[in-house]
Amino acid sequence: MPLPAPSGFTQSLVPVTAIAVRLGVGAVASPTGTLKAVILGNPTSAATVAVNTPVRIPSAEDAATYWGARSEMAQMARAWFKRAPRGLLYGVSVAEGSTPVAATAVVVFDGTATGSGVVRGRIAGQLINEVAVASGATAAAVAAAVEAEIDRWLEMPATAGSSTVTLTLTAANAGTRSNNLRVVLECTAPGITMALNGGTAAAVVKGNFGSGTATAGSVADNFTTALAAIQNTRYHRIIAACDDDTNRGRVKTHLNLVSGINAGRRAMAVCATVEPTVATAQADATGQAEPRLTIVYGRKSPRTPGEIATSYAASRIYGDGIRQGESQYKAAKQNGLQLDVEEPENEDLLSDTDVAACLAAGLTPLVPDPVNPGYMRVVRPATTRTTNVAGSTSYRVLDPSKVAVADEVADRLETFAAVAYATKNLVPEPDPDAKVNGDVIWPSAVREDILSILRTMEGEGLLVNVNALADQVQVEPMIGDDSFLVATVPIDVIEHFHGFLVEVLQQG
């Protein structure tokens, strides 16, 4: 019986192999080559590559040349190559918003040191060297010495300036994301105190750029044009620095466009958030409800959303040295995936209850890594899709591997068809005893080819229950055009081993 074309397919006279991947349908190695990743973030005025222009990034040093050493793009590239020094990475920069404002952080030093000590801490993700404070040093002298230390860090995404007792830090990239930069400083010299952004003077200060009396970063950027610049090339993984609902929505729209049956450039994307309010972060994820999108959650992280998303993507693709990456095994289980993301302050860590709620909302939460002290790990990778098509809670597509393996099925079918059917003509089902010309193909033969590919993938540990679902694999001429075949291919992606429950019964 002829079948209708898959929903969303736009028919034309152009010969095509078009495959729709329907995720989370349920009842109601790799031949695709190296995964291409692309980062999207802001440049600085030192950029040599125009915005909205995709380029290959050979190294972190090249990224600094292309977009400025202090830029968001350079920070993301450094996060990538720290985890995946040989990884295939591209980049396209996003222009800052119109007349954006850069966030600042203002530290006011006070007093005179009555003993020796140091100023130490982390500024915008960078752990600075300890600054010696001699007994008798004035607040102005300490401010100037801390500025001199910060000035040494040419890749820090912020610059420093001091005037008497006031140290002012200014984000290198302007806009709302500049408010994510964080400051933690401690002075151990007695007699010297610090006040951050108009707060209370103390020996330890911590907070974000743009908070309190500091200048808040404002005017968001727009990822639309940058996404359009990568629309006609397949990038398997898109890493976006954006942490706002509007731009994440634009990324979601892009994913659905390029992954649709007419484009066939299937992709997944990663964003991140450092949102201080857990409920807000959870709502951000449920608001997207997109199986191709992951939002990594590092509450009040010293690293920026762009760096977190990039570290996650690089580890997910290439592994962390313990766990396999997608490039080795599309269905790789990556619970506990290690990232190059430092721990936040103890009071900012997620509770066990927070972690469970975040996963239920479709977030990918980070917690301290006991194997790599001082750094964070992924509890369990998740997509933002936590409902089914009817709107009921469903975690059928929570694991990103469900999407990655479904895309792999589509890629293999597409690759096979491009070669095996390139010279074929289509005929109805031939008589079993008929002699068949080698230049023709028919529906049942195509069906057997599909099942052969699925069985191969089952043997590779990517699919299960292929034979059980074989009767549901259909290949028929398309309604209204006998020159097209339409196939429906149900698949069951292998499950991760997420839980092991044991009851030990002591009896003596």
* 267 located within any domain: yes
pLDDT, residue 405, reads: 97
* 31 located within any domain: no
Least confident interval from 187-196, 247-256, 428-437: 428-437
Work out the percent of the chain whose per-residue pLDDT is above 90: 89
Q: Which pLDDT tens digit goes with each residue over 77-120?
A: 999 999 999 999 999 999 999 999 999 999 999 999 999 999 99
pLDDT, residue 250, reads: 98
pLDDT, residue 22, reads: 60
Which of 33, 417, 488 is CA-nearest to residue 234? 33
Type of residue found at 34: T
pLDDT, residue 34, reads: 80
User: What whole-number distance in Å separates Cα of residue 392 and Cα of residue 409?
Assistant: 27
pLDDT, residue 477, reads: 95
User: What whole-number distance in Å separates Cα of residue 470 and Cα of residue 461?
Assistant: 17
Please indicate, yes or no, whether residues 150 and 229 belong to a single structural domain of this protein. Answer: no
pLDDT bracket for residue 314 (50, 70, 90): very high
Please indicate, yes or no, whether residues 120 and 169 belong to a single structural domain of this protein. Answer: yes
Q: What is the mean pLDDT of residues 379-386?
A: 96
List the domain range (segments joined by +) for residue 492.
1-17+421-508
pLDDT, residue 431, reads: 84
* 213 located within any domain: no
pLDDT bracket for residue 4 (50, 70, 90): low
Token code pair at residue 289 = 């409800």
Please indicate, yes or no, whether residues 247 and 352 belong to a single structural domain of this protein. Answer: yes
End-to-end CA distance of the chain: 68
Inter-residue contact 450 to 421 (CB < 8 Å): no
* 436 located within any domain: yes
pLDDT, residue 27, reads: 39
pLDDT, residue 437, reads: 83
Please indicate, yes or no, whether residues 240 and 156 belong to a single structural domain of this protein. Answer: no
Work out the percent of the chain whose per-residue pLDDT is above 70: 94
User: What whole-number distance in Å separates Cα of residue 334 and Cα of residue 320?
Assistant: 9
Please indicate, yes or no, whether residues 202 and 80 belong to a single structural domain of this protein. Answer: no
* 364 located within any domain: yes
pLDDT, residue 26, reads: 47
Please indicate, yes or no, whether residues 169 and 236 belong to a single structural domain of this protein. Answer: no
Which of 219, 215, 216, 188 is CA-nearest to residue 204? 188
pLDDT, residue 317, reads: 96
pLDDT, residue 28, reads: 33
**Does residue 14 surpass a pLDDT of 60?**
no
**Does residue 146 surpass a pLDDT of 90?**
yes
Q: What is the mean pLDDT of residues 300-317?
A: 97
Q: Which pLDDT tens digit goes with each residue over 255-297?
A: 999 999 999 999 999 999 999 999 999 999 999 999 999 999 9
The domain total for the chain is 3
* 247 located within any domain: yes
pLDDT, residue 266, reads: 97
Q: Which pLDDT tens digit goes with each residue over 338-373?
A: 999 999 999 999 999 999 999 999 999 999 999 999
Please indicate, yes or no, whether residues 262 and 348 belong to a single structural domain of this protein. Answer: yes
Q: Which pLDDT tens digit goes with each residue over 315-338?
A: 999 999 999 999 999 999 999 999
Please indicate, yes or no, whether residues 90 and 113 belong to a single structural domain of this protein. Answer: no
Q: Give the Å distances, CA to CA, from 391 to 25, 27, 53.
A: 13, 15, 38
Please indicate, yes or no, whether residues 88 and 142 belong to a single structural domain of this protein. Answer: no
Structure letter (DSSP) for residue 14: S
Q: What is the mean pLDDT of the chain?
A: 93
* 333 located within any domain: yes
Beta strand 492-493 pairing with 463-464: antiparallel
- Whichever domain contains 181, its CATH number is 2.60.40
Please indicate, yes or no, whether residues 187 and 73 belong to a single structural domain of this protein. Answer: no
**Does residue 185 surpass a pLDDT of 50?**
yes
Least confident interval from 331-340, 428-437, 463-472, 485-494: 428-437
pLDDT bracket for residue 31 (50, 70, 90): very low
pLDDT, residue 390, reads: 82
pLDDT bracket for residue 1 (50, 70, 90): low
**Does residue 23 surpass a pLDDT of 70?**
no
Q: What is the mean pLDDT of residues 195-204?
A: 97
Burial of residue 130 (number of CB atoms within 10 Å: 0-12, 13-18, 19+): middle
Least confident interval from 31-40, 174-183, 479-488: 31-40
* 30 located within any domain: no
Please indicate, yes or no, whether residues 297 and 389 belong to a single structural domain of this protein. Answer: yes
pLDDT, residue 30, reads: 36
Please indicate, yes or no, whether residues 324 and 390 belong to a single structural domain of this protein. Answer: yes
Q: What is the dihedral of CA 394, 395, 401, 403, to 10 degrees?
A: 20
Token code pair at residue 366 = 């980070």
pTM beyond 0.85? yes
pLDDT, residue 436, reads: 80
Token code pair at residue 123 = 């500024």
pLDDT, residue 20, reads: 72
